Amino acid sequence: MSQSVLLLPGDGIGPEIVTEAEKVLRKVNEKFNLGLSFESGLVGGAAIDATGGPLPDETMERAQKVDAILLGAVGSPKWDNLKMELRPEKGLLGLRSGLQLFANLRPAILYPQLASASSLKPEVVSGLDILIVRELTGGIYFGQPRGVRTLENGDRQGFNTYIYSESEIRRIGRVAFEAAQQRNGKLCSVDKANVLEVTVLWREVMNELAQEYPDVELTHMYVDNAAMQLVRAPKQFDVIVTGNMFGDILSDEAAMLTGSIGMLPSASMNAEKQGMFEPCHGSAPDIAGQGIANPLATILSAAMMLRYSLNAEDAALAIEAAVSRVLDQGLRTADIMSPDGRRVSTAEMGEAVLAAL
Ligand code: IPM
Ligand code: MG
């Protein structure tokens, strides 16, 4: 059965890192006889320059048809002055919401080879393996009403709406409980139930769901405390489930525990197992075009794509093993450089993964 992949390189370092991941995908496609076909499209600033908007209809139509999407990154200061509706980020948010990719899985795993790259003490982070399950199509990111209005007295007022329905909470909750069952059976739900009603409901629904998953130990934590615990004793966590905005913030924090956000992949899934896979890092416009970006997060995102959307666990494991091997060989891009490492470019890192495959 043939399966299709849409490549959306986007902006900044996006094209460089997606090029390397595409090579890796084509290689495993051959090696494991996966029958994948590839196409590419425009999103973000690249789409704004070519078509006037961050998410052309053509991209959306193709996104709806394919089995999986590999996205690089969107955004750069070049487009920062545009109206909110026209900014590159709207391309990404439009794909998430248009495809109903409500479940965002963001693993934070410390590779033993990179223990010294973390800004935290090795004993605090060694062996770290956390999964953040972030709700991705609701909450304050999408709640209505939103905007900036001018009051009668001339004072301007900005507003957004933090809103979750029970069904939205339940479906992300199920993803998180099931992930915890596959892992160490611990789930921490992060909220601000001491202040925000919407998260009082969040907590209630998580407690109801817990009845259905007696093998999972559910705990709750306020988001401010969770931010602190993540740097104090991150290994206390197994799976964390939280809403869109808290998940955005905590996943960047968790990423940094591992030394470099340049290593971390992510998956955004809908109920049909269609997914969009992207590195957790952004478009890094400051280093774009220099050939120094780390392609491993995108290559590992391709592995997640094979695992979660394309039913090719063997190929996913092969890529992950190849990444681990190049780290063993001491190859390092600038972001993960260590005194004993050998500095390589984006393309050299990609080639090394191909060779290790
Ligand atoms: C992320 C990013 C996005 C988000 C931006 C680029 C819109 O920070 O994927 O975490 O806020 O979700
Ligand atoms: Mg973010």
Model confidence pLDDT, tens digit, residues 215-259: 999 999 999 999 999 999 999 999 999 999 999 999 999 988 988
What is the Å distance from ligand 2's center to 241 Cα?
15
- Span(s) in the chain for CATH 3.40.718.10: 1-110+261-357, 129-257
Does any ligand 1 atom lie closer than 6 A to the CB of residue 278? no
What is the Å distance from ligand 2's center to 253 Cα?
10
Q: Which atom of ligand 1 is nearest to the CA of 266?
A: 9
Helix 14-31, helix 296-308: angle, nearest 10: 50
Does any ligand 1 atom lie closer than 6 A to the CB of residue 67? no
Does any ligand 1 atom lie closer than 6 A to the CB of residue 89? yes
Write down the CATH superfamily of domain 1-110+261-357. Isopropylmalate Dehydrogenase (3.40.718.10)
To the query of whether residue 192 is one of the catalytic residues in this protein, the response is: yes
Q: Which atom of ligand 1 is nearest to the CA of 96?
A: 12
Nearest protein CA to atom 6 of ligand 1, as residue = 89
Given the residues 192, 213, 238, 335, the one annotated as active site = 192
Does any ligand 1 atom lie closer than 6 A to the CB of residue 11? no
In this structure, what token pair is assigned to residue 138?
Answer: 């609701």
The best mutation among 86, 87, 89, 134 to test binding of ligand 1, ranked by most ligand atoms within 8 Å of the C-beta, falls on 89
In this structure, what token pair is assigned to residue 124?
Answer: 């605090």
26-58 pLDDT tens trace: 999 999 999 999 999 999 999 999 999 999 999
User: What does the alpha-carbon distance between residue 258 and residue 264 come to, in Å, rounded to a whole number?
Assistant: 9
- How do the pLDDT tens digits run along the chain, 357 residues long? 689 999 999 999 999 999 999 999 999 999 999 999 999 999 999 999 999 999 999 999 999 999 999 999 999 999 999 998 899 999 999 999 999 999 999 999 999 888 888 889 989 999 999 999 999 999 999 999 999 999 999 999 999 999 999 999 999 999 999 999 999 999 999 999 999 999 999 999 999 999 999 999 999 999 999 999 999 999 999 999 999 999 999 999 998 898 888 899 999 999 999 999 999 889 999 999 999 999 999 999 999 999 999 999 999 999 999 999 999 999 999 999 888 899 999 999 999 999 999
| CA distances from residue 168 to 85, 100, 139, 172, 220 in whole angstroms, order as listed | 25, 11, 9, 7, 18
To the query of whether residue 335 is one of the catalytic residues in this protein, the response is: no
Looking at residue 1, its pLDDT comes to: 62
Element (H, E) at 204: helix 197-210
User: What does the alpha-carbon distance between residue 199 and residue 25 come to, in Å, rounded to a whole number?
Assistant: 40
Q: How many CB atoms lie within 10 A of CB 137?
A: 21
Q: Which atom of ligand 1 is nearest to the CA of 74?
A: 6
Residues β-bridged to residue 38: 5
What is the Å distance from ligand 2's center to 341 Cα?
29
Task: Tell me the CATH number of domain 129-257, given options 3.60.20.10, 3.30.10.20, 3.60.21.10, 3.40.718.10.
Answer: 3.40.718.10
Q: Please tell me the number of the ligand nearest to residue 139's CA.
A: 1
To the query of whether residue 78 is one of the catalytic residues in this protein, the response is: no
Given the residues 224, 286, 314, 328, the one annotated as active site = 224
Does any ligand 1 atom lie closer than 6 A to the CB of residue 248? yes
Closest CA to 73 of 12, 134, 22: 12
